[in-house]
Structure 1
Amino acid sequence: MRIDLRGVGKGRRTEALPATTIGYESGRATLARAETEQRPTVLGLLASGRMRPDTGTVTIDGRADAAAIRRAIALVDAPDVSDPAPNVTVAGVAAEELMFAGVPSNPVSVARRLDKFGLRDVARIPIANVDPIVRLRLLTELAILRDDIEGLVLVSPDRHGGDPLEWWELAKRLADRGFAVLVIAGDASAAAIGAAAMIERMQAMDVDEVAEHAAIAEGGLA
């Protein structure tokens, strides 16, 4: 499955979202940059088929079908749209999401599910007070329990603080399980992830490759 957004914009003069082109697909984690308070959520709504763009197109496997996108894509933790109320406990969030997924959501079922996630020790903690990576792991694992979910759009995970490399690794692990994952975050997080990826590539090079790249960077090779 592949979702493509081509030149999508929202707002009378694209104030809500300027023209944006991005795609994400099964088995891959994709990072999209979006700054300001409103734009990440607007982009998330467009990318998950929950909002119609004023300009541009959104397609799934080459066809325009917003209903199919909505069925296939879970919109995770979008501010004021799909984020849980801050004072609800982890167990409460789990119960509600299990109900939406159409699976048992009684206290025993919730406890067993949190045990499976390794999160039973935080069951009584308000969702706003758990570590950012715990929050995101809980919400993504619950989201993929819903029928027909093939992808996830994660909105502004960096707003909760924490290390962006942690939630990026989580996104990549979800992609390794076959899901299409789009993460929408700010420039600072994107820069940190890009720097880490560059270091990882450099570490994977042999000595001669590193020397060649260093020479190119210094203008030593044509």
Structure 2
Amino acid sequence: MRIVLDSVAKGARNAALPPTTAAFQSGQAALARAETEQRPTVLGLIASGRMRPDAGVVTIDGETDYSAMRKRIALIDAPDVCEPAPDVTVAGIVAEELMFAGRASNPIAVGRRLTELGAAEYSRWAIGTVPPTVRIRLFSELALMRKGVEGLVIVSPDRHGGDPVEWWRFARELAGRGIAVLVVAGDASAAAIAAASLVERLDETNPQTFDEDPGRDDTDDLPDLIVEKA
């Protein structure tokens, strides 16, 4: 599965989303940069087939088919759209997702699923207090239980704080399982991920090499990181 957003824009004078181009596909994690409070959610909605752009083209496997996108791509933790209230317990969220997936959602089933996800200790926690990477892992794995879901669009994980390198590592783990992953995040997160990835590559090829200009944006140096600023 391959999703392409070609110069998509939304709103009067493109205020909600300026022309943005991005792509993500099965087996690959991609990052799209979007700043301001509204733009990440708008981009996430368009990339998952839940909103049509006012300009530009969106395709899935070369065709414009929003219905197929909605069935095959899950939108994860988008503010004002599918973000749970901060005081809802983790167990409550898991029970609801199990029900949506057509599975048993009783306390025993919830406990079993949390154990499988390595998150049993957070069962009684309010979701707003859960560590960022645990939160994203939980939402992503639960979404993948739904029938037909092959891709994820994760919106603004950086708004919860924490180290962006951690959730980016998880996004790449998902891609390694054949999932198509698009993460929408801000410039600071993109720069941090780019720097960490560059250092990792340099360490692999030459342990003595160092970044002579740590302030430079190395985003474009990463072949596995698709980036378009919105």
TM-score w.r.t. the length of structure 1 is: 0.92
Secondary structure, counterpart of 2:12 in structure 1 = coil
- Matched to 2:123, the amino acid is A
CA distance in 2, matches of 1:31, 1:206: 26
1:21 and 2:21 are equivalent in the alignment: yes
Secondary structure, counterpart of 1:108 in structure 2 = helix
CA distance in 2, matches of 1:207, 1:71: 45
The CA deviation at 1:122 is 1.0
Q: Larger relative CO (CA 8 A, sep 6+): 1 or 2?
A: 2
The CA deviation at 1:12 is 1.3
1:203 and 2:200 are equivalent in the alignment: no
Match of 1:96 in 2: 96
Greater radius of gyration (CA): 1
Match of 2:218 in 1: none
Match of 1:73 in 2: 73
Match of 1:218 in 2: none
- Matched to 2:11, the amino acid is G
The CA deviation at 1:206 is 3.7
Match of 1:33 in 2: 33
Post-superposition CA distance 1:33-74 (Å, at most 9, x none): 000000000000000000010000110000000000110000
Matched-pair identity in %:
62
Match of 1:54 in 2: 54
Where does structure 1 lack aligned partners over 5 or more consecutive residues? 215-222
114-123 or 28-37, larger mean C-alpha shift: 114-123
CA distance in 1, matches of 2:185, 2:199: 21
Post-superposition CA distance 1:125-183 (Å, at most 9, x none): 10001111111111111010000000000000000000000000000000000000000
Q: How many residues align?
A: 212
1:142 and 2:138 are equivalent in the alignment: no
CA gap 1:207/1:152 in 2 versus in 1, 3 angstroms? closer
Post-superposition CA distance 1:96-148 (Å, at most 9, x none): 11111111111111111111111111101100011111111111110100000
